[in-house]
Amino acid sequence: MSNALPPDLIRLVVSLAVVVGFAFANAAVLVLVERKVCGHIQRRPGPFEVGPHGLLQTAIDGLKLMGKQILVPDNADTKLFRLAPILSFVPPIAALIVVPFAKVLQVRDLDIGVLFILSLAAVNVLAILVAGWSSANKYSLFGAIRAVAQNVAYEIPLLLSLLVVVMWVGSFRMSDIVAAQDGFWFVFTPMGFVAFLIYFVTGLAETNRAPFDLPEAESELTAGFHTEYAGMGFGLFFLGEYTNMLLMAAIATTCFLGGWNGPWFLAVSGTGVVATLIQLCWFLVKVYGIILVMVWIRWTFPRVRFDQLLNFCWKVLIPISMANLVATAVVAKLVPLG
């Protein structure tokens, strides 16, 4: 049997299924978390009626979305219109395969891990562009244009802030990055902290989260690039958005918060089942902690304006991350790691 099906392939298929399942579950949980947090910030309970404390609300909503007809506007470019939602949620799921959830829980430990994730995450903007363009709606088009300008600009500080870590570790490999943070996390170094902040801000912008949700700015562009999407098309965009959030938080955790490492006094570095579970827990706690802050931010702030967004990127984020990078290079030269 092992001849017919190479174990590697089985491993790949199984892990892919797990990753996809995880992405779906994540989206379901996050939608609920988002609505609950939003509700409590606004001093209301959020979804409450479906299931105990509204726990089944997302499931029902998902069902409803699936049951809806997928409408394609008359003048829309049908093929592209249908392609866009898929384009928006497949790449982030694919990118999840290099994320080290625990020491052994990593589908592929590519030696270009960070690059792989970033390049896949960048496809997201393509999905938005395609969606906005093919919808034949002026508001959607505006959303798409905004998304492209925004994501292209924010990609630079994003990369620069990650380069700080890469430079320090000397490797793009995710497992190396985690291993280098055994006991002390990059976020606790001054350079690491600045890089983390910058990464966090750009991550918000890359995932089009408030206050940088310009592509879907509701009060200006009705719903931006997904104005014309109904039913599962819209659902897939949602899925993509939440998976992207997960991905951004996972990278932040891996690169700045020590990945699956617990705090030094609680660190478990084995590869057994129990150790793996503990590591997984640490990883998820950090990831969801970051996501929680993202949600919290969304329900607190107004949206920034388009030119301010770009100004902020070019005048604040990029210079600071450049300076940070130079500082890191100097320090890394003077104080070799370890």
Partner 1 sequence: MIRYFQEIFSGLWSLLVGMRLTARMAVAPTITTHYPFDTLEITPNFRGHIDLVINPKTARDKCIVCMMCQRACPSGCISLKGEKPEGAKKKVLTEYHLDFTKCSLCGNCVETCPVNALEYSRDYQLAGFSRHEFHFDLVDRFRQRAREQGLDPKVGDLTPPPPKPPKPAATETAPDASGSTDG
Partner 2 sequence: MIPRPDPSQETLVLNMGPQHPSTHGVLRVVLRLDGEYVLEAHPVIGYGHRMHELMGEVRTSSGFYANVGRMDYGGALSFGHGHVLAVEKLAGIEVPPRAEYIRVITTEMNRIASHLLWFGAFLLDLGAFTPILYSFDDREFILDLLEHVTGARLTFSYHRIGGVARDLDDKFIEGTRVFLRRMRERLDVYDKLVTGNVIFRKRAEGVGVIDKDTVLKYGATGPVARGSGLAYDIRRVEPYSVYPDLEFEIPTATEGDSFARYRVRLAEIEQCLRIVEQALDRLPDGPVQAKVPKKVKLGPGDAYQAVEAARGELDYYLVGDGSDVPYRMKIRPPSFSNLSLLGEVCQGVLLSDLVTIMGSLDLVIPEIDR
Q: Which of 297, 327, 329, 332 is close enough to bind partner 1 by CB under 8 A?
A: 297
Q: Which of 5, 6, 13, 42 is close enough to bind partner 2 by CB under 8 A?
A: 42
Question: Can you list the pairs that 292-297 forms with residues at least 24 positions away whose Cβ atoms lie under 8 Å?
Answer: 292/33, 292/37, 293/200, 294/203, 294/204, 294/207, 294/209, 294/245, 294/249, 295/33, 295/34, 295/37, 295/38, 296/37, 296/41, 297/204, 297/209, 297/210, 297/211
Q: Which of 198, 225, 56 is nearest to 136 (CA)?
A: 225
Of 19-27, 113-121, 133-141, 291-299, the window that binds partner 1 (rule: CB under 8 A) is 291-299
Task: By CB under 8 A, tell whether 56 contacts partner 1.
Answer: no
Task: By CB under 8 A, tell whether 301 contacts partner 2.
Answer: yes
Q: Which of partner 2, partner 1, none lies near 182, with the C-beta cut-off 5 to 8 A by kind?
A: none
CA distance 293 to 237: 21
Task: By CB under 8 A, tell whether 310 contacts partner 2.
Answer: no
Task: By CB under 8 A, tell whether 299 contacts partner 1.
Answer: yes
**Which residues are CB-neighbours of 276 under 8 A, at least 6 positions away?**
102, 103, 104, 105, 270
CA distance 109 to 72: 40
Q: How far is the CB of 305 from partner 2 (least distance, A)?
A: 5
Query: x/- site string to partner 2, residues 201 to 240, per CB under 8 A?
Result: ---------xx-x---xxxx-x------------------
Task: By CB under 8 A, tell whether 38 contacts partner 2.
Answer: yes
Q: Which of 12, 18, 37, 280 is close enough to bind partner 1 by CB under 8 A?
A: 37
Task: By CB under 8 A, tell whether 301 contacts partner 1.
Answer: yes
- Judged by beta carbon, residue 71 or residue 323, the one nearer partner 1 is 323
Task: By CB under 8 A, tell whether 315 contacts partner 2.
Answer: no
- Judged by beta carbon, residue 151 or residue 254, the one nearer partner 2 is 151
Q: Which of 44, 75, 266, 337 is close enough to bind partner 1 by CB under 8 A?
A: 44
- Judged by beta carbon, residue 34 or residue 228, the one nearer partner 1 is 34
Binding site for partner 1 (CB under 8 A): 37, 39-45, 48, 296-297, 299-301, 316
